[in-house]
Structure 1
Amino acid sequence: MNKNSWQIALAYMSVVIGGGFASGNEVLQFFTGYGIAGVAGSVVSAVLFAFLGMQIARISSIMQAGSHKQVLYIIFGKQAGFVVDLILSFFLYGVGVVMLAGAGSTLAQQFGLDPLVGSVLMTVLVIGTLCLNVKGIINLISAVMPFLLILVLAIMVYSIVTSTGSTEELNQAATEVPVITFLGAEVSHWALSGLLYASFNIAVGFPMLAVIGGLTKSPRAAGRGGVVGGLGLGFLIILLSIGLFANLDKLQGIEIPTLMLAQNIHPWLAVLLSLALVAMIYSTAVGMFFAFSARFAAPETKRFKVLSAIFTVVGLGLSQVGFTKLVGTVYPMLGVVGLVLIIAIAASWIRTRKRSTEELAKEAQSRI
C-alpha cells in the first residue's frame, strides 16, 4: 500500500461515514431493528463496500477521470450515463441537506443549542471549503478520519464490554425500533437491508471516490485503496451494529445514539465525539455539495464558487425538516440509484475482469 492507496481509503471512508453513519442513526434504522440478525446484515454491506470501492477507484484510475460523470459514461454508456448522472446529482444534494441537519442535531443534543445554529455553522464551513482547490478539499476530508475512527472504536468496545442487557431483553427492545422503509414499505429482511445500506452509501461515496481514483496513476494502487477503505467501512458498521444492539435498552428515541453512549462513559468524551461527528458531517457535506456543484460548473472557477454558495444556502433552508426524518426519507430513495450502480458495476467487472489495463483505457477513451 502506497501513499495514494491510503489516501483513497481514508477519503472513501470519510465521505461515506458522515453524520448518519458515525452518529449511529443510520445503523440503528438499517440493522438494529432486526435484533442480533442485524449484525449479519452489516456483514453483507461490508463485502459490498470492499468490492465496489475497488472497482470504482480502479476504473477511474484507468481512465484518469476528472469527474464522476466520465466513470458513469463508461459503466452505462453516454446516454444512459447522462440520465443516471442527473438522478444521482439530485439525490446527492439531498444527502448534503441531511448533513446540514445532522450538524444541527449533534450540537443541539450535546450543547443544548438551537438546531439552526449548528446548521448555519456547517453551511459557512462548507462554503468556505468549496472555495479551495480539489486536492485541498481531499486532504481536509482525509485528515479527519483517523481521529473519529479511534474515538468510535473506543466507545463501541467499552459499550459492548459493559453492556448489562440480556439477549432476550435486547431483542425485545429491537422490535420497538422502526426499521427502514423502501418504496413505501418496511424492509422485512436483514439481508435486503444490508444490500440497501451498501447501495445508498456507495451512491454517496461514488462521486468523490471517482475523482480521487482519477488522480492516481496506478489502477492497482487505486483498487487497493478502494478495497481497504471498503473493509474499514465494513468493520466500523459491524462494530457499530454490535455496540448499538448491546445497549439498545438505553437508546430508545435518541437521534444521536453514539453520542448518548459516549455521555454514559464520561461527559468530556461526549464533547470530543460531538466535535468529531461535526468533522465527519463536514467531510460528507463538502463531498456532496462539491459533487453537485461540479455538475454545473468546473471546480475552482468563480462560477463554481458562487453556485456552491447558493446551493448550500438553499440546502440550509431545506435542512430544517429534521435529521431523523431526512435520513429515513432521502437515503432509501437514493438506494434505488445505488442498486442500479451496483448492478452496472458488477456487470462491468464480469465483462472486463480478464482484459488488460491498456485495452480498458482504449475502450474508455472511445466511449467518452
Structure 2
Amino acid sequence: MNKQSIQIALAYMSVVIGGGFASGQEVLQFFTGYGLIGIAGTLVSGLMFAFLGMQIARMSSKMQANSHKEVLYSLFGARIGWVVDVVLSFFLYGVGVVMLAGSGSIFAQQYDMPPLFGGVLMTVLVMVTLCMNVKRIIDLISAVMPFLLAMVLIITTYSIFSYNAPVETLDAVARENNETVSGNWFVGALLYASFNIAVGFPMLAVIGGMTQQPKAAAVGGILGGLGLGVLILLLNIGLFANINQLQGIEMPSLALAGRISPMLSVVMSLALVCMVYSTAVGMFFAFSARFAKPETRRFKVTSAVAVCVGLALSLGGFSKLVGTVYPLLGYVGFALILAIAFSWVRGRSSAKALKAELDAAS
C-alpha cells in the first residue's frame, strides 16, 4: 500500500460522505428507517462501494483519464455516454444544491440563525475554492476526512452504549415513524450505493487518472469503499440506538453530539460544515467541468453562476431535498453499476481467453 492508495481512499470517502451522510439524514432515510434489518443494508452497500470503487479507480488509471467523460465513453460508447454524462451532471448539480441547504440547516439547528446565512456562507466558500487549481482542491477534500472520521467514531460509540430503550421498541419506532426511500430495505441499500457511486464517480475518475499505477488505484478504491461501509454501519447503529429521541430532527448526528456535550455539539457542527463543503466543492466542480475546462476564466464564471443559482434552489429545505434528489440519482446510478459490472465480466473473460491461448501455445 502506498501514499497514492491512501490519498485515493480518503478522497473517495470524503466526496461520498458529505453533509447528507455526516448529518445522519441520509442514513436515517436509507437504512435506520427500516429497523434492525437496515444493518444488513449497510453491509450490502459497503461491499458494493468497495467493488465499484476498485473498478472505477483502476479503469481511470489505466486510461490516464483527465475527465470522467473519458471513462463514461469507454463504458457506454460515445453517444450513450454523452447522454449519461449530461443527465449525471445535472443530478450532481442537485446534490450540490442539497449541500447548500444542509449548511443552512446546520446553522439553524445549532446556532438559531436563519438558514440563508449558512447557505450564503457555504456559497462563498465553494466559489473561492473553485478558483483554485485541481490538485489543491483534491488535497483540501482529502484533508477533511480524518477530522470527520474521529467525530463520527466518538459520537456513534457513545450513542451505541447509551441507548435507553429495548431493542424491540427501537425497531418499532424506527419502522413506524420514519420515512424511507423505498418500501424494501434491500432496494434502499442498492439505491444508496448507486446514488453515491454516481456522486463519487466524477472525482474518483479524475483522481484515479492522476495515478500511474492501476493496482495502487484499485487498492485505494477498495480501501475507500470498505471505509465507507464501516462508517455507515457505525452511524446507522448509533442512530438506531437513539431513534426514539430523534424524531423530526434535520441533523440527527448533531443532536446526538448535543446529548454528550454542548461543546462537542459545536465541534460536530464544524465537522458537518467541513463535510458539506467538501461534497459541495466536488459536485459543483464536476458540474462546471462539464461545460468549461478547469482553471480557466470561463470555468470560474460558470462555477460562480452555478453556485449562486444553487443557493436560490436550496431554499426548498434539506431533508426534503435529500428524500427527493438522492433516490432519483440512485436510479440513474444503476446504469453506471450495470456498465461497470459488465466491463469487469468482459475483462475477466478476455484475461481467461488470453491465458488459455498462452497455455496452448506453450
TM-score tier (shorter): over 0.9
User: How does 1:34-73 map onto structure 2 within 5 Å?
Assistant: 34-73=34-73
CA distance in 1, matches of 2:199, 2:232: 16
Aligned to 2:161: 161
Aligned to 1:146: 146
Alignment counterpart, residue 310 of structure 1, candidates 305, 308, 314: 305
Q: In the alignment, residue 276 of structure 2 is paired with which amino acid?
A: I
Alignment counterpart, residue 226 of structure 2, candidates 228, 231, 242: 231
Tell me the alpha carbon deviations over residues 147-170 of structure 1, each in whole angstroms, 9 at most, x when there is no partner. Answer: 110111111011101111111110
Aligned to 1:363: none
CA distance in 1, matches of 2:161, 2:201: 35
Tell me the alpha carbon deviations over residues 250-296 of structure 1, each in whole angstroms, 9 at most, x when there is no partner. Answer: 10001100000000000000000000000000000000000000000
Aligned to 1:184: none
User: How does 1:112-261 map onto structure 2 within 5 Å?
Assistant: 112-181=112-181, 187-261=182-256
Q: Contact between 2:104 and 2:116, CA under 8 Å: does it hold in 1?
A: yes
2:274 is the counterpart of 1:264: no
Identity of aligned residues (%): 67
Tell me the alpha carbon deviations over residues 62-84 of structure 1, each in whole angstroms, 9 at most, x when there is no partner. Answer: 00001110000011111110000
Q: Contact between 2:157 and 2:238, CA under 8 Å: does it hold in 1?
A: yes
CA distance in 2, matches of 1:251, 1:298: 44
Tell me the alpha carbon deviations over residues 87-128 of structure 1, each in whole angstroms, 9 at most, x when there is no partner. Answer: 000100000000000001011111111000000000000000
Q: Tell me the CA shift for residue 176 of structure 1.
A: 2.9
CA distance in 2, matches of 1:219, 1:167: 45
Q: In the alignment, residue 270 of structure 1 is paired with which amino acid?
A: S
Q: Contact between 1:32 and 1:177, CA under 8 Å: does it hold in 2?
A: no
Gaps of 5+ in 1: 182-186, 360-368
Aligned to 1:366: none
Q: 3-state SS of the aligned residue for 2:177?
A: coil
Q: 3-state SS of the aligned residue for 1:255?
A: coil
Q: Tell me the CA shift for residue 318 of structure 1.
A: 0.3
Q: Tell me the CA shift for residue 355 of structure 1.
A: 4.9
Aligned to 2:92: 92
Q: Contact between 1:9 and 1:225, CA under 8 Å: does it hold in 2?
A: yes
Q: Contact between 2:50 and 2:221, CA under 8 Å: does it hold in 1?
A: yes
CA distance in 2, matches of 1:353, 1:108: 51
Aligned to 2:333: 338
Q: In the alignment, residue 48 of structure 2 is paired with which amino acid?
A: L
Q: Contact between 1:8 and 1:225, CA under 8 Å: does it hold in 2?
A: yes
CA distance in 1, matches of 2:82, 2:127: 27
Gaps of 5+ in 2: 355-362
Q: Contact between 2:34 and 2:180, CA under 8 Å: does it hold in 1?
A: no
Q: Tell me the CA shift for residue 189 of structure 1.
A: 1.6
Tell me the alpha carbon deviations over residues 170-202 of structure 1, each in whole angstroms, 9 at most, x when there is no partner. Answer: 012112333333xxxxx2221111011000011
CA distance in 1, matches of 2:202, 2:305: 20
Q: 3-state SS of the aligned residue for 2:18?
A: helix
2:287 is the counterpart of 1:292: yes
Q: In the alignment, residue 342 of structure 1 is paired with which amino acid?
A: I
CA distance in 2, matches of 1:179, 1:108: 22
Normalization by structure 1: what TM-score?
0.94
Q: In the alignment, residue 193 of structure 1 is paired with which amino acid?
A: G
Q: In the alignment, residue 216 of structure 1 is paired with which amino acid?
A: T
CA distance in 1, matches of 2:4, 2:254: 32
Cα RMSD of the aligned pairs, angstroms, is: 1.0
Q: 3-state SS of the aligned residue for 1:253?
A: coil
Tell me the alpha carbon deviations over residues 20-66 of structure 1, each in whole angstroms, 9 at most, x when there is no partner. Answer: 00110000011111110011011110000000000000000000001
Q: Contact between 1:19 and 1:280, CA under 8 Å: does it hold in 2?
A: yes
CA distance in 1, matches of 2:62, 2:169: 51
CA distance in 1, matches of 2:333, 2:323: 16
Q: 3-state SS of the aligned residue for 1:175?
A: helix
CA distance in 2, matches of 1:36, 1:173: 11
Q: Contact between 2:19 and 2:273, CA under 8 Å: does it hold in 1?
A: yes
CA distance in 2, matches of 1:180, 1:137: 34
Q: Contact between 1:29 and 1:177, CA under 8 Å: does it hold in 2?
A: no
CA distance in 2, matches of 1:112, 1:65: 45
Tell me the alpha carbon deviations over residues 294-313 of structure 1, each in whole angstroms, 9 at most, x when there is no partner. Answer: 00000000000011000000
Q: Tell me the CA shift for residue 354 of structure 1.
A: 5.4
Runs of 4+ in 1 over 2 A off after TM superposition: 175-181, 353-356
CA distance in 2, matches of 1:180, 1:292: 28
Q: 3-state SS of the aligned residue for 1:300?
A: coil
CA distance in 2, matches of 1:134, 1:165: 48
